[in-house]
Amino acid sequence: MRLSNTITNITGGGSDGWELFLKARGMIAEGIDVTELTIGEHDIKTDRRILDAMHASALGGATGYAMVPGIDSLREAVAERLQTRTGVATGLENVLITAGGQAALFAAFRALLDEGERALFIDPYYATYPGTVRSIGGVPVPVKARSRDGFQPRFEEMDAQAAGAKAILINTPNNPTGAVYSRETLEAIAELAQKHDLAVISDEVYDTQVWDGEHISIRALPGMASRTFTVGSMSKSHAMTGSRVGWLAGPEEAMAHVVNLLTNTNYGVAGFTQEAALHALGLGEAFEEEIAAPFRRRRALAQKALAGQNAVRLLPPSGAMYLMLDIRATGLSSEVFAGKLLEERHIAVMPGESFGTAARGHVRVAMTIPDAPFEAAIREIAAFTQALA
């Protein structure tokens, strides 16, 4: 059997960045006690009220095919949420419900790129970004954002790569760096998009997790609503990772075409999970703040635990559920460092190289275990780094 070039090239012929995570899971399966600080999975489970709504919906009969664009009530609720948060007029016709944020990303790139066309994205990046571009035959083009700039991308770095590209993907609050893009940064991206006629895909799944500054959606900037796709999800904001409910929002004409793609891929999202998502949105901002609170608290714990030492440099995240730790004082690559940390101290973190070349010499720590073991793990990482340095 001959497989397509597209499917065999999704990882670009190299690593997909998940090796250490898989090794840690293998150790856990063998009965080894591993402190896992790898993926963005809440340590709390989906709230019982949401599960009760899901259960009631399923028992009530919402187990058949749901409408492919999503149930109207959920699309309307998402549209209202976006309009309230951005000030941009948004209706049901601008919103499609997808099988999580990842499916929304795939749909956005499929809508914008033909085979061989280029898409920019910011490095460091979430591990699936280049693979998503390659999965539809596109060419991923990373643009470095640097640690010394707080991982805010610069106009000149983006501009140097933009000629001939069709789209740029941005993510704020950012995974893996925790950077929240400033208004100045977003205005630079908007200027770039208009200069080069780029569509913007704005991944905003962490928009409820902001610790410093404010979350600004680029679609709210002048002239940007007509060229922006916004990706959202219930996963991070409502601890519904396994429910796979996300959305893609954009211009009405584009959404009308994307429906055809959804018809020929997932053919809709389960109705009972959509109705659970609708119930979850109805719990309001106070509930979203409750879900986000542990990460704000653990950020402060990490800052306290790392104060007064000089081996690990913490880049305090302005948002999201991750820390980036600069471990360059050890002289090791982040892959070697993370491997040694796992083998010798049974603590699993993600090497910076999993997220691109700009994160070399850093590791990403997910703040996704309870406070006491989290603080203990941070202190252990600092001690381990000090011994190596």
223-261 confidence digits (pLDDT tens): 999 999 999 999 999 999 999 999 999 999 999 999 999
Domain with CATH 3.40.640.10 in the chain: 62-283
Instruction: State the pLDDT at residue 19.
Output: 87
Instruction: State the pLDDT at residue 355.
Output: 93
The tens digit of pLDDT for each residue in 34-58 reads 999 999 999 999 999 999 999 999 9
Instruction: State the pLDDT at residue 17.
Output: 64
Regarding the domain with residue range 5-45+286-382, which homologous superfamily does it belong to in the CATH classification?
Aspartate Aminotransferase, domain 1 (3.90.1150.10)
15: pLDDT strictly greater than 80: no
Contacts of 67 (CB under 8 A, 6+ apart): 268
Q: What is the mean pLDDT of the chain?
A: 96
The tens digit of pLDDT for each residue in 297-330 reads 999 999 999 998 989 999 889 999 999 999 999 9
Q: Which amino acid is at 320?
A: A
pTM: 0.95
The tens digit of pLDDT for each residue in 142-156 reads 999 999 999 999 999
Average pLDDT over residues 272-282: 98
Helix (H, G, I), strand (E, B) or coil at 46: coil
CA-closest candidate to residue 335, choices 316, 319, 356 = 356
Instruction: State the pLDDT at residue 14.
Output: 64
State whether CATH 3.40.50.10860 applies to domain 62-283. no
Q: Measuring CA to CA, how many Å separate 104 from each of 33, 37, 201, 202, 389?
A: 36, 26, 10, 11, 43
Helices (H), the chain: 5-8, 19-29, 48-59, 72-86, 100-112, 129-135, 155-162, 183-196, 252-263, 271-281, 284-306, 334-345, 371-388
Instruction: State the pLDDT at residue 287.
Output: 98
Domain with CATH 3.90.1150.10 in the chain: 5-45+286-382
Instruction: State the pLDDT at residue 16.
Output: 59
**Is 57:271 a contact under the CB 8 Å cutoff?**
yes
> How many CB atoms sit inside 10 A of residue 184's CB?
9
Instruction: State the pLDDT at residue 381.
Output: 97
Tokens of 216: 């600004």
